[in-house]
Structure formats: C-alpha cells, structure tokens
Amino acid sequence: MRQSQLFGKTIKEVLKDETSINAQLLLRGGFVDKLMAGVYTYLPLGLRVLNKIENIIREEINEIGGQEILMPALQNKKDWKITGRWEIDVMMKVKTFFGKEYGLGWTHEEVVTPLAKKYIKSYKDFPFSVYQIQTKFRSEKRAKSGILRGREFSMKDLYSFHTNEEDLDKYYDLAKEAYFKIFERVNIKNKTYLTYASGGDFSKYSHEFQTLSSAGEDTIYICEKCNIAINKEIVENNQPECPQCQNKNLKEEKAIETGNIFKLKTKFTEAFDFKFLDENGKEQLALMGCYGMGPSRLMGTVVELFNDQNGIIWPKSIAPYQVHLVHLGNKEEAIKEAEKIYNALQKEKIEVLYDDRKESAGVKFKDSDLIGVPLRIVVSEKTVSKNSVEIKRRNEEGFEIVGIDKIVGIINCHCEETERA
RNA sequence: CGGGGCGUGGCGUAACGGCUAACGCACUUGGUUUGGGACCAAGGGACUCCGGGUUCGAAUCCCGGCGCCCCGACCA
C-alpha cells in the first residue's frame, strides 16, 4: 500500500479530550475515527489490525470445533421477553415509524438457543458449538477508555451445547486453552490471568481472562503459586483468598477483562424449552456454555501494553503491515530503488506499507513510529550509494545496514518468527 | 444516572461586553529544501455546539438543551 494513497491521516498534536493511551494513539495514528462516545469507525489501518485479531480468534475457535455462523444484530422483543432480559438497561432498543420495537443484540443467547432448538432433536447431534464475530450494542452508561468500552463493538461469542455436565466441563476446559492460545498469539499471554469471577445466579464461579494494565477497570488479586487470580467483585469481607490453594498472600493489580467464559447450564435451554431425546427416548434439557471475547477490546489492550513515547509497537502477528518501507530525499536514484524494492516485496506477498510521500525525513520517521509497523526499511541516497538499505525494528533501538539483495530473505525470516510465536 | 471539567475552521489554542473572530499545525498553489514533525510567498476554509434571554452592542453575561472527557455507580 502506498501511503500517499492511504485513506486516513496521522495527527501530530496530542488530542485534548482523550486521556486513554489507546484512544490517543489509535486516533492519532489514523487507525480509528470517533463518531461519538464509544462508537468508532475503523479506518484502513485499524481494520487490518482488527481483521487479523479476528482471524486468529477464528483459527483457534475452529480448532476446538466451533462452527462460524452469523446471527442478526436486530432482534425480536418476544424472545427477550421470554428470558426477562428485555428490560435490562444495557439493551438498546429501536422503534420503527409504525411503533414496532426491536432490540439490538448485546449478547446472543436469545437468538442462538431457539436456533439450536429448531435444528437439534437427538442426543446424536451433540455436542456442538457455534460462534460468530459480530457487532454488539450495549447502552453503557458511560463509554470510556477509547475502544476498551464502547457502545458498539466487535465481539466473538461462542456457544456450546451438551447432553451432560461432564461433557460441558470438558469443552469448557478446551475453550480455556483456546483462549490462552489466542492471548499467546497476540502477545499478551504473559500478562493474562485466568480469574475467578462472579458466576451470576446459576453457578458459583465464572472465569474471566484478565490482562494486567493500568488502563483496566477491574481489580484482581493474583495468586503467584497457582498463577490464577480472583476478581475483587467476589472477594468476601475484604479478605482475598486464592480459590484453589486458599493462599491469602495475593498481589493486587488493575486489569482489563479480555475474555470470559460461563457455564450457562440450563439457564437458557430451560427458558426456551430446548430439549432433546436421549438414548432411552426420554426428553432432557440441553446444557450450554458461552464464551466471549472482544476483538476490538483486544486491539485496545495491545495498544495499552505495547507503546512508547513515539507511538504504537505492534506485535508482528497483528500489525497492520509487516514492513514500513520509507524513502528519504528526492534523488531520482533513491526513489527508483525504493519503487523497485516495493514491487519486489509485493511480488513476494509481503505486507508492505510504502511511504512514498514527498515529506521530510522527520515527518516520515515520526509517522512511522506512531503507526508502529514492526520492521522499517529506509531507502535514501545514503543507503543506495552503498547498494543497501537500513532496517530497524520498532521494538529495538538501533538499526542494521543490509544489502538490497538480502531484504526479502530477512523479511521472510522475520515473518516466520511470527508464526512460531 | 450523580459529581466535576470543557465546547471557537479538521487539530491545538487566542480574543476587556465594542472594528471584518486572531494565531500555529493541517489543506491548496508556486518556489527552495530533504536522516527525526523544514523554509519563503500567495491562498481557501467559521452561522464561535444549539435554542432562548439581558444589552445600543454577546464567542464573552444569564437560562435551557445537546455533546465530549474524567471520577463514581453500573457492567452476561
């Protein structure tokens, strides 16, 4: 992609109204645009990141047998009345000119449960799980922290269905593992803790995945022995205690909830009377689990975690581009060489953002740091005279001078590291 | 939803109740530059958030609304 053609612009000034790091850097870098509080447009750069995160999630959820579907965002009042959740305040409601009311989905149990009931009649069809990556709407009383808590946001929700509790438990653990694989791939695993949280009214605990960050809204207590945490919301009489080993010496931290998993059991299958016939021809209620994760929140979390004074430092796995090719100066020779390299990289299917703008070196470097692509290749009169380029990693100081013929090899090597990571 | 702060070109700001609302960045044109947010020159771009009021006169004062940010409450 030629940067001269890229839709979106970087902003030099610090934005007065945004205090959160992710909002500041994503807006300034031209990744997102704010339409109103908690509602964002994803510009080309930001959408590339979001898509990459979503694809990582897809791959890992597919791996545990989840089948991707897409349910409507616009939902009928009837089903929400059945579960008694029509009146919950996070529900956004829309009304037509003729007075008919609809809900905008903030979760999809009210759609997926009747859907499953319609197609599944026999124990032979179990277990199964379906998921979607879709836009959710929540009437947050206060949207905040950039894309970390929006009123409209991207969400992956997976729902699993089972004939018995053991099977649900097994899948629940599988989902847990899949979640950690996802965190590993977006580079936040070492800061993410499985956290015991409120189970609502139908089970003792649920589990959240909490990623340490001062931008987080949750307070958790970490047990370093068990490598798990407990959410402050379920701490009784001010005395946090590890739910696994009863250790009372826990570390208090702020964290962002980057995922949650719930054993819904029969809460919704009962409401919608979703029964199947077992081996003995007897009707039984199906059991359910649900597993949520917000790609857009994940994106915000990564920005909160990986940045410096100059901008974002994207992990390779979700960077909008792998290479930022920058040419400096206005000498014909350097431009020609940069164009040649750009074409070569494209031929190799390397994701490259090419800063072909007629801007000063300072502007280009500043923008490059702000956007935060992992590898920067500088082509200038200076490098061309030595038949080389300068390669700098965004997450390291210093750079290396590399012969032009070696570029593709180095980048391919760099990209492979991503796949291993 | 309670408390606080703030609304002036795209962004950041300025302007005593008083001339045609000023400046920097960004943008357009021409020229000079080109290794860390260059320079010169000439331009375009604003119903000062909206509505009402006070006043000879309102960006400025008053009332109401809306919006944005922060704190809190809330958060399947």
Of A400, A399, A403, A398, the C-alpha closest to A385 is A403
**Is the shortest CB-to-strand distance from A67 to strand B under 7 Å?**
no
pLDDT in the model for residue A236 = 86
Residues 6+ apart with CB under 8 A from A232: A218, A219, A220, A221, A240
Residue A85 pLDDT more than 70? yes
Q: How far apart are CA A350 and CA A336, in angstroms?
A: 19
pLDDT in the model for residue A375 = 97
**Is the shortest CB-to-strand distance from A377 to strand B under 7 Å?**
no
How long is the CA A417 to C1' B56 vector, in angstroms? 76
**Is the shortest CB-to-strand distance from A19 to strand B under 7 Å?**
yes
**Is the shortest CB-to-strand distance from A358 to strand B under 7 Å?**
yes
Read off the pLDDT of residues A183-235 as tens digits, 9 standing for 90 and up: 999 999 999 999 999 876 566 789 999 999 999 999 999 999 999 999 999 98
Q: How far apart are CA A74 and CA A53, in angstroms?
A: 25
| Tokens describing residue A356 | 């072909």
Task: Assign A137 to helix, strand or coil.
Answer: strand
**How much is the pTM?**
0.96
Q: How many helices (H) and strands (E) does chain A have?
A: 11, 23
How long is the CA A19 to C1' B25 vector, in angstroms? 21
Read off the pLDDT of residues A93-147 as tens digits, 9 standing for 90 and up: 999 989 999 999 999 999 999 999 999 999 999 999 999 999 999 999 999 999 9
What percent of chain A is predicted at pLDDT more than 70? 98
- Which residue places its CA closest to the C1' of nucleotide B67? A36
Rg (CA), chain A: 24
CATH 3.40.50.300 for domain A3-308, yes or no, is no
pLDDT in the model for residue A199 = 77
| Tokens describing residue A326 | 């920058």
How long is the CA A265 to C1' B29 vector, in angstroms? 69
pLDDT in the model for residue A421 = 45
Nucleotide nearest to A200 (CA to C1'): B76
pLDDT in the model for residue A399 = 94
Same fold, A3-308 and A321-420: no
Domain boundaries, chain A: 3-308, 321-420
- Which CATH topology does A321-420 take? Rossmann fold (3.40.50)
Residue A394 pLDDT more than 80? yes
Chain A residues 141 to 160 whose Cβ lies within 7 Å of strand B are 141-145, 149
CB A414 within 8 A of CB A322: yes
How long is the CA A10 to C1' B45 vector, in angstroms? 20
**Is the shortest CB-to-strand distance from A24 to strand B under 7 Å?**
no
Q: Within 7 A of a protein CB, which nucleotides of strand B?
A: 1-2, 5, 11-13, 24-26, 33-38, 67-76
Chain A residues 283 to 342 whose Cβ lies within 7 Å of strand B are 310, 328-330
Nucleotide nearest to A365 (CA to C1'): B36
Stretch A373-395: mean pLDDT, rounded? 95
How long is the CA A23 to C1' B23 vector, in angstroms? 27
Measured CA distances, A80 to A95, A124, A137, A269 (Å): 15, 29, 15, 14
How long is the CA A171 to C1' B20 vector, in angstroms? 73
Residue A86 pLDDT more than 50? yes
Backbone angles phi, psi at A75, to 5 degrees: -130, 155
Residue A419 pLDDT more than 90? no
Residue with more model confidence, A353 or A235: A353
Across chain A, what does the average pLDDT equal? 94
Range name among A152-166, A227-241, A305-319 with the lowest pLDDT average: A227-241
Residue A371 pLDDT more than 50? yes
